[in-house]
Structure 1
Amino acid sequence: MASLSSSIPSCNLKSAFLGERNGLRYTASPAVRIGCVVKPVECKESRIGKRPIEVPSNVSILLEGQDLKVKGPLGELSRSYPREVRVIKVESGHLKVEKALDTRRANQMHGLFRTLTDNMVVGVSKGFEKKLQMVGVGYRAMLEGQDLVLSLGFSHPVRMPIPAGIQVKVDDNTRITVSGFDKNAIGDFAASIRKWRPPEPYKGKGVKYADEIVRRKEGKAGKKK
C-alpha cells in the first residue's frame, strides 16, 4: 500500500511568518505602511484677554513678579498669577494681561485672569452690589449689630454674621442689598443667604436674586367629579 504521505500534494502557503515546518513553506507578505499627518494645535488669542484694563487715578498699583496689589478708596485686594500668564503695566498707565506660554491652558487662563484683574480695579474704586428679594408670607429680614437675621418660616430665626469688608442693607424688611469691593466675597455671601430658602417653582416663595427669573410649574389638578 502506498504511503499516505505520498498521496498528499505539496503545497505552498503564504503567511505573515517566515519559515518551514512539517514540510510546509511559509513566506512573508510585504508590510503596508500607512502615513499620517499631525497638525499642530493653534492657540488663538482671547478676545477678552487682549483688551487693556483702565486704571483710575485714585487707584494705586503695586506689581512684583507674579503678584499684584491694587489699592483704592474702598479697600485693597491682591492676587498671585500662575506661570501661564503675566501682568504688565504699559506707559499709558493701563494694565495688560499677556500669555507667557503658547499652550491651550494659557489661552484659557488669558481671558479669565483679565476679567479677575478688571474686577479688582473696579471693586476698589467703584464697588459691587448684589440684590435679593424675599417672597412669602412672614418672610422678613433685619439687621442686629453685625448680624443679618432672617425669618424664613423655620421654628427659629436664622442669624448670619456679616463678613468684614461687606455691607448689608435691608429695605422694607424684604429687600436685601449686599455691597463691597470684593466681587467674589459678595457673591458667596449672597449665595449663602439664598441657600437657606431657594425659590420654589409652584408659588415662587423663597429668597431669590432681584434679577432672577423663576420658572413656574403648574400644580397637580384635582380629580374631576
Structure 2
Amino acid sequence: MMAFSTAARPLPPVRAAPVPQVAGARRYNISRIGKLPIPIPEGVQVSLNGQHVAVKGSLGEMEYTIADCIGVRRTEDPPMLRFERLEDSRKASAQHGLWRALLANAVHGVSRGFARSLQLIGVGYKAALADDVLTLSLGYSHPVVFSVPCGVKVTVPSNTEIQLSGCDKAAVGQFAASLRAARPPEPYKGKGVRYAGEKVVLRAGKRSK
C-alpha cells in the first residue's frame, strides 16, 4: 500500500498582472528654467500680440514668434514675463526652457547688450576695420575679409584687438566664433585668434635627438 504525505506543499509564485499603459498618461516635468519669470527693467518695452513678442530698449529691438505650445503673459508690480506650457508633451517641455532663455537674453540685450573681445597673437597679425568690412592679416598669403553682420558693432582699439557688441547674443557669439575659426590658436606657440582671457594649453615642442 502506497503512503501519501499530508505535508503542505508550497504554492507556485503568483505573478502580478501587468499594468496596462494608458496612452497620453505620461507627465513631463516642468522646466526649471521655463518656470522662472523674467524681470522687465525700467526702459524696456515688451509688446505681446498672440505668439508674437517684441522687446525694445535703448540698444535696439528684437522680435520673436513663440511656439504654439508655449504661452507667455505679462504681470505687473513688479513687471515680469511669465511662461507656461499649453500642452503636456515632450516638445512643450523642451520649448518651455528654450523660449524663456531666448526672451531673457533679449531683455538683457536691448538694455545692457552683449560683448565679446578677441586678440590676435602672432608676428604680423593685425586687424583693420573700414566701412563695416573687417580685414585680418593672419599669416596667410592673402588677407581674410569679413563683412560685419547686421546688429553687431565692431571696434578695433588696436591692430591686435577686436571688440564686438550688440543686443543679439547669438549674433555676437556667432561672429566671434567665425573670427576665431579663421586662425584658431595653434598648440605650440599659441599663435592665432583667441577670445580675451582664453587659456590656451600649449604642447611641448619635439626635441631633436
- What range describes the TM-score normalised by the shorter chain of this pair? 0.7 to 0.9
Separation (CA, whole Å) in 2 of partners of 1:144 and 1:151: 14
Instruction: Tell me the equivalent position of 1:189.
Output: 175
29, 35, 45: which one aligns with 2:30: 45
SS at match of 1:120: helix
Is 2:55 aligned against 1:73?
no
Matches for 1:1-225 after TM superposition, within 5 Å: 35-37=17-19, 38=21, 41-92=26-77, 93-223=79-209
Task: Name the TM-score, length of structure 1 as normaliser.
Answer: 0.79
The one-character-per-residue Cα deviations of 1:144-194 (angstroms, maximum 9, x if unpaired) are 222111110111222212122211111231111100111111111111111
Superposition RMSD in Å: 2.0
Number of corresponding residues? 192
SS at match of 2:37: coil
Structure of greater Rg = 1
1:34 CA displacement: 8.0
Q: Which has the higher contact order (CA 8 A, sep 6+)?
A: 2
Separation (CA, whole Å) in 1 of partners of 2:181 and 2:111: 30
The one-character-per-residue Cα deviations of 1:113-159 (angstroms, maximum 9, x if unpaired) are 11100011111111111111111111111212221111101112222
Q: Percent identity between the aligned chains?
A: 48
The one-character-per-residue Cα deviations of 1:17-56 (angstroms, maximum 9, x if unpaired) are xxxxxxxxxxxxxxxx984334954422222111111112
1:96 CA displacement: 0.9
The amino acid across from 1:219 in the alignment is G
Separation (CA, whole Å) in 2 of partners of 1:67 and 1:222: 65
Separation (CA, whole Å) in 1 of partners of 2:201 and 2:168: 30
SS at match of 2:97: helix
Query: Which portions of structure 1, spanning 4 or more consecutive aligned residues, are displaced by more than 4 angstroms?
Result: none
The amino acid across from 2:147 in the alignment is P
The amino acid across from 1:211 in the alignment is G
1:59 CA displacement: 1.2
